[in-house]
A and B are shown apart, each in its own frame.
Chain A
Amino acid sequence: MATIKLSTNKIDELRAVCKSFNHEKGELINVLHKAQGIFGYLPAEVQEIIARELNVSVAHVYGVVSFYSFFTMLPKGEHPVSICLGTACYVRGAEKIIEEFKRVLNIGVGETTSDGKFSLACLRCVGACGLAPVVLVGDKVYGRLSPESVKDIVAEYAK
């Protein structure tokens, strides 16, 4: 596992968040939301700090983090790739697109490439059904994709 670097500034910010919630156990989910906002993800170290600040067990914090799919323990890549899995996209072959991204990037859904460039996630309908199947890279939308076009997209960012 890579060493995780947390800057002291951000940790101070996190502690301030806990304080703003009065270190209330019941505010755990809100604290986690804010923490994910600060760090972009919730590594074990961040969960340990939160557990101490709110005086709950780390196992409990992890229980909550692992329950909600919104929370992630993996850092997003520099270029987060999100594949729409809404009905229209699904019907138009989104699954094949996922498979191709997995193959080209050599990672699974929810993972990040070892150089930190790309991460892979699935989304519900993004409201561009006319363009199905749809993929987002960061904020940029790519529509009417075929598995063959995946390589080109990756190449565009891989520089």
Chain B
Amino acid sequence: METIKINIDNKIVEVEKGATILKAAKQVGVHIPTLCHLHLHDLNIENKPAGCRICVVEVAGRRNLAPACVTECYEGMVINTNNIKVLNARKTVLELILSDHPSDCLICSKNGNCELQSMAQDFGVREIHYEGEKSTYRADTSPAIIRDVDKCIMCRRCEMMCNDVQTVGVLSAVNRGFMSVVAPAFERNLDHSECTYCGQCVAVCPTGALTEVDHTNAVIRALADPSKTVIVQTAPAVRAALGEEFGMEPGTLVTGKMAAALRRLGFNYVFDTDFAADLTIMEEGTELLDRLNRHLQGDTSVALPILTSCCPGWVNFFEHQFPEMRDIPSTARSPQQMFGAITKTYFADKIGVKRENMVVVSVMPCLAKKYECQRDEFKTNGNPDVDFSISTRELAHLIKQLNISFNELPEEDFDHPLGESTGAAVIFGTTGGVIEAAVRTAYELQTGKKLEKVDFEELRGMDFIREATIDFDGLPIRIGIAHGLGNARKLLEEIKAGRSEYHAIEIMACPGGCIGGGGQPLHHGDSSILKARQKALYSEDAGKTLRKSHENPYIIELYKEFLGKPCGELSHHLLHTHYFDKSVEVSVVE
């Protein structure tokens, strides 16, 4: 590594050649405030439009102040990051941004978690010296995401996520000057675009311009209604992140406290989406083996690779962008929907409650699930299998609203029967986890042999596209993994071109998988948090006695008592789905 010497705030330091001032300053512990810049190191994602000019510093010999996030260091550079000239310039920039920003912080859903707000706090802004016109746009509410464009500061992080990382291309900067905002084409609403509701734009928005549709009040109302049996399910990735909202270290597992909190919130049954993740493996694994074996026997009508289908962001993506390939993904529903379908049939019968009197709430790291549970195919006579899907952040708000001291709670267990799960289900929350869980079960079903070592290190990690060949007792099974929709696109293009060598591919829409979902506690640019969450999930898996989905005793019971066999008729009806062509044709009228 070639290095150079520079002077930052009168300290001589040695930094990597080509480093930006921002990076160099960080190396030596000097904090420079930033707003538009975003760097997720572990995911190799960077946004540097150099638009906000909050990060300016003084460079000796240069006339104007330099934006630290894009200015490269050179040998002998003398930098001052905090003299009066710099501080005044930053404050002016901030005040100008604030002069065109609504000041309803007190009732903003980002209150306490907004980067603009904390910057105003840090800078000690007490007065805004600029009075200008405030732009007003109509708000856009979709099934999952709210765009409150008045609060947009044009940092363009969302645009970078949607275009460069996800390659969905829904968001773009439009108009000019004072009127410029980030919006979908023709400033239509999100639900008239190809948005997948992955929520990655929401995950990086520093302000309240992009937020989730909030169902906490609806949940409180259901809990207060004595005629309703209210049932909750929590996704795998939630337990590895919820603690952050209560000041715990990233990667702290709060499974037991979370179950206790849900019970104190008044849910009648505290269940676990992990149960349904085990069920997903039974169905998806069986489907995989069926397709694989027919393929090996020379049946050309079966398509391989099979793609996982448990991520609704990914489902939305291929329905819009690759509809011609919609017979390749597994037909298995997501765990959230499997859970709802089983709860409102099997479990409803068991406890003698009509589905109309049941309210199923899911707690998800995900915003796409808000949309998914509203899809018509997951309703019976208009009654949805899952009534409300709330995010990890919303659950934290609920707990705070109801004055529950989360950190003091005891560790409790989930209820039975839909609260029992194996280690295979827990790792669903990270990239690589679904396919590892599937391999554990498929291996034993296919070979009839016991799998001694259940840890498949070769499937783990954070690289965007990973591949591995797993030996199924002499039969090499080639596995692909992609997270982030841009990477999924690459694998899809390969399949389309007939160049794909894989038997099975796992795809998750969000970088990192659900641990990095759009409904998780905000990482504010620190991607090491995702790694900590990932580690937590693998450690919960390692600590479990049962680590293969087909060994879950309650799953075995469910098939015996109710479903019959995996991919059987009842499964087909309750646990599988079909996909739609949602591509938009250009309407040409003669």
Mark the stretch among A29-37, A42-50, A83-91, A116-124 that contacts chain B. Answer: A42-50
* Complex interface: chain A residues within 8 A of B176 (CB): 66-69
Contacts known (A57-B163, A57-B185, A58-B185); A11 close to B588, Cβ less than 8 A: yes
Contacts known (A47-B185, A67-B175); A57 close to B586, Cβ less than 8 A: no
A96 beta carbon closer than 8 Å to chain B: no
Which residues of chain B from 495 to 542 have any CB-CB distance to chain A below 8 Å in the complex? none
Query: Which chain A residues have a beta carbon within 8 Å of chain B's beta carbons?
Result: 3-8, 11, 44-45, 47-49, 52, 56-63, 66-69, 73
Query: Which chain B residues have a beta carbon within 8 Å of chain A's beta carbons?
Result: 163, 168-176, 183-187, 193, 584, 586-590
**CB–CB B174/A66 < 8 A:** yes
* Complex interface: chain B residues within 8 A of A57 (CB): 163, 168-170, 172, 185
Closest chain-A Cβ to B525's Cβ sits at a distance in Å of 24
**CB–CB B589/A5 < 8 A:** yes
**CB–CB B588/A45 < 8 A:** yes
- Chain B contact residues, majority secondary structure: loop
**CB–CB B172/A62 < 8 A:** yes
CB closest residue in chain A, given B587:
A45
**CB–CB A60/B590 < 8 A:** no
* Complex interface: chain B residues within 8 A of A6 (CB): 588-589
Closest chain-A Cβ to B538's Cβ sits at a distance in Å of 36
Bound-state CA distance A43–B326 (Å) is 31
* Complex interface: chain B residues within 8 A of A52 (CB): 586
Closest chain-B Cβ to A24's Cβ sits at a distance in Å of 18
Q: Which 3 A-B pairs have the closest CB atoms?
A: A57-B169, A59-B172, A63-B172
Contacts known (A66-B175, A67-B174, A67-B176); A59 close to B184, Cβ less than 8 A: yes
* Complex interface: chain A residues within 8 A of B168 (CB): 57
Among A52, A56, A59, A68, the most chain B Cβ lie within 10 Å of the Cβ of A59
Bound-state CA distance A80–B172 (Å) is 31
**CB–CB A62/B589 < 8 A:** no
* Complex interface: chain A residues within 8 A of B185 (CB): 44, 47, 57-59, 61-62
Closest chain-A Cβ to B144's Cβ sits at a distance in Å of 18
* Complex interface: chain A residues within 8 A of B587 (CB): 45
Bound-state CA distance A68–B176 (Å) is 8
Among B174, B175, B186, B193, the most chain A Cβ lie within 10 Å of the Cβ of B186
Closest chain-A Cβ to B200's Cβ sits at a distance in Å of 15
Select B174's contact among A3, A44, A48, A63, beta carbons within 8 Å: A63
Q: 29 A-B Cβ contacts within 8 A?
A: A3-B589, A5-B590, A6-B588, A7-B590, A8-B588, A11-B588, A44-B186, A45-B586, A45-B588, A58-B185, A59-B169, A59-B172, A59-B174, A59-B183, A59-B185, A60-B169, A60-B172, A61-B185, A62-B172, A62-B174, A62-B186, A63-B172, A63-B173, A63-B174, A66-B175, A66-B176, A67-B173, A67-B174, A67-B175
